[in-house]
Structure 1
Amino acid sequence: MTVDTSSTDESPIGAGAELLSVDAAVAAAEAVLAQRFGSTITLIDAEDLAGSGPATVVRARVDSSSFALPRTLVIKHYPGAARQGQDDSFAREAASYQLFTALSPEDRMCPELLAHSADQRVLVIDDLGRMPTLEDKLCGGDSRAAETALLSWARSLGRLHFSTANREADFNALLRRLNPRNRTGEAPDDDAGAAPGDVTEQTPHLLEQAFGMRTPDAVREAAARAAEQIRAGGYRAFSPVDLWPDNNLVTGAGVRFLDFEHGRVRSALIDAAHLRVPFVSASHPLSLPAGMSEAMIAAWRAEVVGLWPALADEDTLSAYLLDTELLAVWHATCRHVPGLADVRNASRTGRAAALVTWWRGLAEHAEHSDRECDTAVAEHAARVAAALDTRFGPDLELALYPAFR
């Protein structure tokens, strides 16, 4: 039998499964809350929040409870067991929330974890309410509100790094307790800072294969040094990894981070690359106006300089940012170029325009560097940007987020 997937029936295929998953999430949450508080807690008015990751995300109201619980809660339920040999998103998220819940409220850059269960694979967290996301601000019509939200995001990221910089052992212990098979190490392969050694090998090969462009030895060496800096162990702190605008709520107390499915401790300089190359690992990144990235970097640095005083030196910080920017742009190139093989006359909101803009930005930043080794990086980046523009353009430039148009 052939199923007609074009049907306009108001009850689409899969709707029943979605309802079942919401019911399963609520049941798991009620069970873990009863275990946590020693009394039955009933949840009603469940609302599917349509999370983009592997978890079912639900908002529910507390119907009756003798405990001082919030009126509404958010449930994240990871159905099924962790797969052998793969990172366990539930374990990473649970360990992340446990790490932050142990901090004082002013250092907690996320909702509070109220209950969790490794057996039920469920998290129950405080509901911050129907606040706008950073994505909402960037796609709105108020440029000043978008600027304020971006600076708040950068400050929150800095406070997150500051408060977790010496908590790597704690995080890894929590992670092992939840799932002994989970990896600690660096970021997963879908992030801008992932597997720096692999990126330094793959990107030159890809550029030569796709554009006939050779990467000079001096540029390869610069990338290798940048990768070694990331692996060296300095400036380590917790990272949400998925630093995307829709993963952050803009609250009256500042921006709060929501999703930690890939959370881990790694070099905070990888996260700082998202200030120089805004939201480089997001699925649909756009551009920010001139000067915005510099203001975000200043806001982030103000929060971490007490912990890492070397970053107070402008040349030191610029060198680190250029290194991580190089790796972020190289990784984005590896991710996106293979999928652009059939693209011609690309739009200003697509990945080809993003790559052209990011390579041009890398060229400009390297050109202003005082390090002799960055001259070759600047020249090579400018040539790559030109080659990308010739292939996918002409005159490509990534469009601004709507709030700044």
Structure 2
Amino acid sequence: MTVLTEGRIIRVVRAAEAMLSQRAGSSVVLEDPEDLGGRGRTTVVRVRVAQNPFSQARTLVIKALPVDEEPHAFHREIAAYKYATTLPTQSRPGPQIIASDAQARVLVLSDLGHGRSMSGLLTGRDVTEAVHAVSAWGQALGRMHAATFGGESDFRALLRRGANSAQDVNVLRDQAVRAFSLFDGALRALDVPVPPRVTGMLANACDLFTEGEHRAFSTSDVGPENILINGEGVQFMDYEWGGFRDAILDVAYSQVTCGSVLSAPSQRASDPAVRERLEEALVDAWRAEVALIWPALSNRRVLARRLLAARLLWVWLSTVWMLPLDGLQPTVADIVEAGIGGTVDLAGAGTDDLAVVGASLSGANGHLHDLALYTSDPRVLVTRWADLATAAGRAGDDVLSATAVRIGAALTRDWLT
């Protein structure tokens, strides 16, 4: 641990002590900080509760952002934790919020303890164990969705208590809309014709962030890197962009990110049949939990069609983040993070346009690269398109299947040959 890191952790622990002491009306002492890492400039620390007369908790987790960080996203994260904490224990997706200070950018959470990561289970040697793990994953998603369907007004009330503008902060929605605006130009640059129906599917999938028949709470980044399995089951670890969206987006996100872990060349589960088996186990477990509230989704064909559109969105979004501009850096991921992606025509952009884009990157927040969806491995992206083509073929959507094959072939041509 560097001196700078140690100093930052000590400051975070002292801030949490002050917050908890004020809340309890008595001195709270936290000791033995353990650095758990954190994305970007976020600090995450596990601490032992050495003195607290009003709590039985032995350990807690502190999450802190720099005070100069943009506040509205943090208000949204607080609201997400508060909302999830009100849920019944069996439906609660992860840690409970103990205390928060929006001005200091500090959260204190319950400690989920130690367990096994979903990524580790998926990359193990036991396929049966992996099937059980993804079934638990789907079941946990379904329980969260079933428990929160119809609860969006309560979540919005929590958002309003923090900051009105926090209601407008929805990072993944904004990235999806910007990436969709790049769709036609990027594919022209790849020499891939796209049927209007596929473009329409992508547009409809973007609407699932703000509309949809199956709106429920989501912790947002529900990929395997953010899942811990402990004695109480599946725990989703990060609520940074939590909120309400159509639950179909969560299931499709899980399919895509699960397949990414399994498709790594070194993994024994790179076999497409194994990936298909695991995806089906995840979806079946999820559907069983939501069948009573969304009976139409018990029809496998109906559910498959809806999942295809959402899956297309996630596969395209992860692809567009990695597409280079005429062979130059930055990539589209950098442009979208800088917040100006919707203004650039990839097929028609000139050198001067790219220079302006590159000069704007210092403002990028870097968080996209921490998502389970993000990959810098072209082989993973090519496999995602192949898996989408296979899924579309199984669902009888030959148009989408053929389009996914063409895009995968174009990426293989440009990146892997």
RMSD: 2.7
Matched AA of 1:381 = A
1:206 and 2:206 are equivalent in the alignment: no
**SS, match of residue 278 in structure 1:** helix
* TM-score, with structure 2 as normaliser: 0.79
1:151 and 2:138 are equivalent in the alignment: no
Which residue is 1:327 aligned to? 313
Residues of 1 paired with 2:100 and 2:277: CA distance? Answer: 42
Residues of 2 paired with 1:266 and 1:312: CA distance? Answer: 20
Matches within 5 A, 1:5-404: 15-83=2-70, 88-184=72-168, 187-188=170-171, 191=172, 195-209=175-189, 211-228=190-207, 231-279=210-258, 286=264, 289-338=275-324, 341=327, 351-370=377-396, 374-393=397-416
> Residues 319 and 18 (structure 1 numbering): CA distance in 2 closer, same or farther, change over 3 Å?
same
> Residues 76 and 160 (structure 1 numbering): CA distance in 2 closer, same or farther, change over 3 Å?
same
8 Å Cα contact 2:223/2:254 also seen in 1: no
8 Å Cα contact 2:177/2:206 also seen in 1: yes
Percent identity, please.
36
8 Å Cα contact 1:340/1:352 also seen in 2: no
8 Å Cα contact 1:270/1:324 also seen in 2: yes
Offset of 1:342 from its aligned partner? Answer: 8.3
8 Å Cα contact 2:176/2:206 also seen in 1: yes
Matched residue pairs, number?
A: 364
**SS, match of residue 292 in structure 2:** coil
Residues of 1 paired with 2:32 and 2:79: CA distance? Answer: 28
Greater mean alpha carbon deviation, residues 145-154 or residues 220-229:
220-229
8 Å Cα contact 2:228/2:236 also seen in 1: yes
Offset of 1:298 from its aligned partner? Answer: 0.4
Offset of 1:231 from its aligned partner? Answer: 4.3
Structure in which a larger fraction of residues adopt helix: 2
> Residues 226 and 244 (structure 1 numbering): CA distance in 2 closer, same or farther, change over 3 Å?
closer
**SS, match of residue 137 in structure 2:** helix
> Residues 155 and 181 (structure 1 numbering): CA distance in 2 closer, same or farther, change over 3 Å?
same
Residues of 1 paired with 2:205 and 2:180: CA distance? Answer: 9
Matched AA of 2:303 = L
Which residue is 1:346 aligned to? none
8 Å Cα contact 2:76/2:242 also seen in 1: yes
